[in-house]
Structure 1
């Protein structure tokens, strides 16, 4: 599971920082999460192949999370893309994109599918044989969702020594990897646990941006491997959280601790600060395993 941060700062782009966008690679799937201004430039800088992006997940319709989407879609057409593109996001994202395409006469060379969201409870928005993606209802100034990406359990691993010891034919190997017991010719039943090893534990990633401190997301993100949580402000500006509907680094760390996550990645930093190091310092007073996102940073989990 790899995470590439394309942008992780709040509000406006600057010469050296970009608004929110990131790429998650999980089980050989590549998902684009949010698409702030400049996303396609950042994709090129980080050598992310455009053709591997088939699903885009938009958290909310504030500009610093979505203004890069029309440019990316237009570039896909200029590159003569043929593969379907799926956009998952709040109701209104379809109108936002289609009106821009219409007024600029920029129709796509590929099929564009919109999966608009209105629900206030967590719901599955994408699923295949390897990964399942659910919403994390957040509380911001507009309708907002985070997203929870979870690997499905993999096949069990054969214990070849035991399988050969029992003289089991290779035609049964897939059945064993799928979890079945085996009955031998003499009637003995060999439990699956004796012939296999547990598969690697499924990994999970929770993306939470933007939101005020919201404890009712804790059951949804309980025990995830990695939590990305917005941390717009330091403690000194906590008084701005209620007005702007954002969180502090320490509040993000409190969510991480209560949800028993393994690692916390902080992002969506206000550009009012000269350094992001204090975000980590303040968060670590509550939760130890803290990382700072930064543009171009790649995490391998």
Structure 2
């Protein structure tokens, strides 16, 4: 099966605590690496878990609270020092472009590569990257400042070959990709070998949604509907729901309610408050509402 998985680099809110780092994660889609948020220490976490930062060509920043982007200048600077030449696509709030420009201006840094900046829209959902294999959509969240989530949808997948049958019939290798796309093979003697008879149906396309900082709200439900894996902030236990509302965050109980409401397959909690050394109570609370919940753990890959 082709790769579609998420590596958690950081899962803490606001400040590093108990060995946990500010928010950041890597999405591996068929060996294309995408970085989602970039809190302090992100490049050290990339190094720790064996991810080469120069393989990352797209970075998505949800909003401009420091625990989600303060590692970005350091990461880009290191890519420059390591000789990066490939363009870097950066998606985030419009003011982020100004922040980077003033940082590099006053450090007299002339990057060897181009940053192609894409402003995100905190008022409506927009497709921000579209290819035959992967579509990325940003969508508004409800936080104290402009903030967006991101949804990653796999393109239509190819059918898989019935390998033994294809080999028995001696169908030439150059035609195998066409069979997977549904194109029938016509042999030299005129015999037609139908693609539907030589392939298994294409697997269902997969999807991942990332909900950064947000208060519980149905406003973004449509944008994350029926994803296979939902990462949703769960800063507090529900006995702190008043504090969650005051700071425009979500409880683990509410994150589970979101997962139920939008019919996702699996829920991944993150963005834990520094008040919680033990995270098991958040997991227990969430599972009381949505059974298929896991805690995001730094250094762990989660399949979509």
TM over 0.5: yes
SS in 2 for 1:54: strand
Q: Aligned in 2, Cα 1:17/1:169: closer, same or farther, shift over 3 Å?
A: closer
Q: CA deviation at 1:202?
A: 2.0
Is the counterpart of residue 201 in structure 1 residue 204 in structure 2? yes
The runs of 5 or more residues in structure 1 that have no matched partner are none
Deviations 1:126-183 (Å, cap 9, x if unpaired)?
Answer: 1233211111321101111111112112222233566678886666443332123567
Is the counterpart of residue 127 in structure 1 residue 133 in structure 2? no
Cα distance in 2 for partners of 1:277, 1:34 equals 25
Name the residue aligned to 1:8.
11
2:122–2:146: 8 Å Cα contact kept in structure 1?
Answer: no
Q: Which of 240, 243, 247 is the equivalent residue of 1:244?
A: 247
Is the counterpart of residue 282 in structure 1 residue 285 in structure 2? yes
Q: CA deviation at 1:15?
A: 6.0
Cα distance in 2 for partners of 1:97, 1:253 equals 36
Q: Aligned in 2, Cα 1:116/1:166: closer, same or farther, shift over 3 Å?
A: same
Cα distance in 1 for partners of 2:123, 2:176 equals 44
Q: Aligned in 2, Cα 1:108/1:15: closer, same or farther, shift over 3 Å?
A: farther
CA-atom RMSD in angstroms: 2.2
Indicate the larger mover: 122-131 or 61-70.
122-131
Is the counterpart of residue 145 in structure 1 residue 148 in structure 2? yes
Q: Aligned in 2, Cα 1:177/1:232: closer, same or farther, shift over 3 Å?
A: same
Aligned length: 301
Cα distance in 1 for partners of 2:274, 2:216 equals 20
Deviations 1:90-126 (Å, cap 9, x if unpaired)?
Answer: 1111111111110111221111111111252221111
Name the residue aligned to 1:109.
112
Q: CA deviation at 1:17?
A: 1.8
SS in 1 for 2:179: helix
2:5–2:28: 8 Å Cα contact kept in structure 1?
Answer: yes
Cα distance in 2 for partners of 1:4, 1:176 equals 34
Name the residue aligned to 1:36.
39
1:27–1:151: 8 Å Cα contact kept in structure 2?
Answer: no
1:27–1:130: 8 Å Cα contact kept in structure 2?
Answer: no
Is the counterpart of residue 227 in structure 1 residue 259 in structure 2? no
Cα distance in 2 for partners of 1:167, 1:46 equals 44
TM-score (structure 2 length as normaliser): 0.91
Cα distance in 1 for partners of 2:173, 2:299 equals 46
SS in 2 for 1:115: strand
Name the residue aligned to 2:91.
88
Name the residue aligned to 1:264.
267
Q: CA deviation at 1:273?
A: 1.8
Cα distance in 2 for partners of 1:174, 1:43 equals 35
Cα distance in 2 for partners of 1:3, 1:174 equals 28
Q: CA deviation at 1:217?
A: 2.2
Cα distance in 1 for partners of 2:299, 2:169 equals 52
Cα distance in 2 for partners of 1:178, 1:11 equals 47
Indicate the larger mover: 77-86 or 263-272.
77-86
TM-score (structure 1 length as normaliser): 0.92
Cα distance in 1 for partners of 2:101, 2:90 equals 12
SS in 2 for 1:47: coil
Q: CA deviation at 1:274?
A: 2.6
1:149–1:206: 8 Å Cα contact kept in structure 2?
Answer: yes
